[in-house]
A = this chain, B = another copy of it.
């Protein structure tokens, strides 16, 4: 596979020409003086690190994978060295508070760095990625003492972190959670249970790992209202910050997965391991939800990343590989055949990939700005950001990862039979991408979250505000984008009302519509961003290849991808009845 190139021009386009990040940062409390020069310097350094250090380890990580022994997990050759370089570069603390050694930069800067890291090497990105979740949880919910004890080393990156939710019997439904926490009456708890699917749960990159663990106190209510959150270090820290005894948490095995082989997905056994309550007892799930929204945005970003990797690979191949002749006449008369790019169907695939990669990038950085404001602003401004994040996060997670899968799949397809072969890197991209619609809540879970919790729960008020906001923005767009976008927004609102009405009769209508509704919503949101980008590109006085491709891709999106809403609409309208008509017993009988 050709070397990864950080898409700096595209990131800059979205930051400056679409989302006016200069004004955004000027208005963001704590970042008023953040300069675009500093930002660009950071992005350039991230580009170098990801292109030269992480990208070459992408295939190594896939082929070697992680290895387990009783002493712990060994990561692929070069992974630990790259992590040390990352720590030396100060990357882990980019958006962390200065009091713990961080640089206090906006989250949106961190997310752009994460884009490059994930594109260069998804498996590797999971080690710092999970640490970010652990840090965020401690910042939001830890006591002063807990923050003092753990955050310095987590911010420097000397220690990494995990989030331990899933157990063998429970994934999406955490009400079955069984891991126990017994109060030692000395401020500590003994944690006992088995956690599975713990990303970065053990490795050889850092001297300590801080696990954030969901567990149940003895007197806790049943179900999800009896879950508490605990800090469980792999190695107990002494009061002076040095490392003490090994805690009784160990990695029992690692999973054999379809992709992201370079990341250790661990079974963790907590055997009376010492832990500390974080946040209120029995309120663990509420604390987790803070983290989960951030994690979902992070996962949606991965969907965009796989689209970008597919785009780079497919473009390289389509501009180089020769096969057949253009149907409208020879394009390269001096060559025995034309390049793939002359074929309309190849362009359909390439532009589909591009529309998802670049459209989802704009979507991602809009969410990143909202996260900045949610984190730093107050009052109405924070509330607006929170409302937008609340509505858009499940759409982003579901839509960007599903379209990331489609783009990765098309990336393989552009290569023909070669796409199936390891050396080109496209099949790895598809295998790595496949996890993204599963973890951090499957697409089905996102669909339910969107419809039930985010759209219907306030009677559609927040949804309605969003539709009004985008409709107003569309007035500024070129008519070839404004008109279909306005139609789609109106139809989206009608469909939402229809589902709401049906749900009054039958709650299964929610589940029946959920994923089609999520995908429908995603296409409308992407139309918003492509309408903005297409208009900016069209109005740009200095037309060059960059703006012409951008405008062409916007047109492509509206003509070739937005019409997919027609199919989602039709299937939504047929409702739940046909889904539920066959009895469970009949299915069971057939399956004997």
Residue ranges of A at the interface with B (Cβ–Cβ < 8 Å): 166, 170-173, 175-176, 197, 255-259, 315-316, 319, 322-324, 326-328, 331, 336-337, 339, 341-351, 405, 409, 412-413, 416-423, 427, 430-431, 434-435, 437-439, 442-444, 447-448, 506-512, 514-515, 544-546, 548-549, 552-553, 555-556, 559-561, 563-567, 569-571, 574, 576, 578-591
A327–B420 touching, CB < 8 Å: no
A591: contacting residue among B315, B342, B555, B566, CB under 8 A: B315
Which residue, A419, A423, A506, has most C-beta atoms of chain B within 10 A?
A: A419
B327–A510 touching, CB < 8 Å: yes
Contact A327 B507, CB 8 Å, known A172-B416, A337-B173, A417-B439: yes
Q: A258-B427, A412-B434, A548-B582 are in contact. List 10 more A-B contacts (CB 8 A).
A: A166-B417, A173-B323, A173-B324, A197-B417, A257-B422, A327-B507, A350-B587, A545-B590, A563-B566, A567-B567
User: Could you tell me the distance in whole angstroms from the C-beta of A350 to the nearest C-beta in chain B?
Assistant: 8
Main secondary structure of the interface of A (DSSP, over half): helix
For A570, the chain B residues whose CB sits under 8 A away are 563, 566
B172–A324 touching, CB < 8 Å: yes
Contact A337 B176, CB 8 Å, known A257-B422, A567-B566: yes
For A319, the chain B residues whose CB sits under 8 A away are 584, 587-588, 591
A327: contacting residue among B326, B418, B511, CB under 8 A: B511
Which residue, A173, A438, A511, has most C-beta atoms of chain B within 10 A?
A: A511
Closest to A259 in B: B420
Docked complex Cα distance between A345 and B441 (Å): 14
Docked complex Cα distance between A472 and B591 (Å): 35
B328–A507 touching, CB < 8 Å: yes
A571: contacting residue among B427, B506, B559, CB under 8 A: B559
Contact A420 B257, CB 8 Å, known A336-B175, A515-B345, A566-B570: yes
B556–A328 touching, CB < 8 Å: no
A560–B584 touching, CB < 8 Å: no
Closest to A350 in B: B587
Docked complex Cα distance between A513 and B567 (Å): 18
A555: contacting residue among B316, B544, B566, B581, CB under 8 A: B581
A586: contacting residue among B328, B422, B549, B555, CB under 8 A: B549
Closest to A347 in B: B579
Docked complex Cα distance between A348 and B337 (Å): 45
B438–A549 touching, CB < 8 Å: no
A405–B409 touching, CB < 8 Å: yes
Pull 30 A–B residue pairs with CB atoms less than 8 Å apart, ordered by A: A171-B418, A172-B416, A175-B336, A255-B421, A256-B421, A258-B421, A315-B590, A328-B506, A339-B584, A341-B584, A344-B510, A345-B444, A345-B448, A348-B579, A405-B409, A413-B443, A417-B438, A417-B439, A420-B438, A544-B589, A546-B590, A549-B590, A552-B578, A552-B586, A555-B578, A559-B571, A560-B574, A564-B567, A565-B567, A567-B567
For A512, the chain B residues whose CB sits under 8 A away are 344-345, 348
Docked complex Cα distance between A508 and B348 (Å): 12
Contact A444 B346, CB 8 Å, known A173-B324, A578-B556: yes
Closest to A513 in B: B344
For A417, the chain B residues whose CB sits under 8 A away are 166, 171, 197, 435, 438-439
Contact A587 B430, CB 8 Å, known A511-B327, A555-B581: no
B315–A447 touching, CB < 8 Å: no
B430–A515 touching, CB < 8 Å: no
User: Could you tell me the distance in whole angstroms from the C-beta of A44 to the nearest C-beta in chain B?
Assistant: 18
For A555, the chain B residues whose CB sits under 8 A away are 578, 581
Closest to A566 in B: B566
For A515, the chain B residues whose CB sits under 8 A away are 345, 348
B552–A582 touching, CB < 8 Å: yes
For A412, the chain B residues whose CB sits under 8 A away are 258, 434, 438
B574–A258 touching, CB < 8 Å: no
Closest to A336 in B: B176
Closest to A169 in B: B322
User: Could you tell me the distance in whole angstroms from the C-beta of A299 to the nearest C-beta in chain B?
Assistant: 12
A344: contacting residue among B350, B421, B438, B576, CB under 8 A: B576
B427–A434 touching, CB < 8 Å: yes
A559–B574 touching, CB < 8 Å: yes
Docked complex Cα distance between A85 and B409 (Å): 37
For A416, the chain B residues whose CB sits under 8 A away are 171-172, 438, 442
For A343, the chain B residues whose CB sits under 8 A away are 444, 511
Contact A591 B344, CB 8 Å, known A420-B257, A586-B549: no
For A552, the chain B residues whose CB sits under 8 A away are 578, 581-582, 586
Closest to A552 in B: B582
Closest to A581 in B: B552
Docked complex Cα distance between A170 and B412 (Å): 17
For A510, the chain B residues whose CB sits under 8 A away are 327, 344
For A331, the chain B residues whose CB sits under 8 A away are 584
Closest to A559 in B: B574
Docked complex Cα distance between A564 and B349 (Å): 18
For A553, the chain B residues whose CB sits under 8 A away are 582
User: Could you tell me the distance in whole angstroms from the C-beta of A237 to the nearest C-beta in chain B?
Assistant: 31
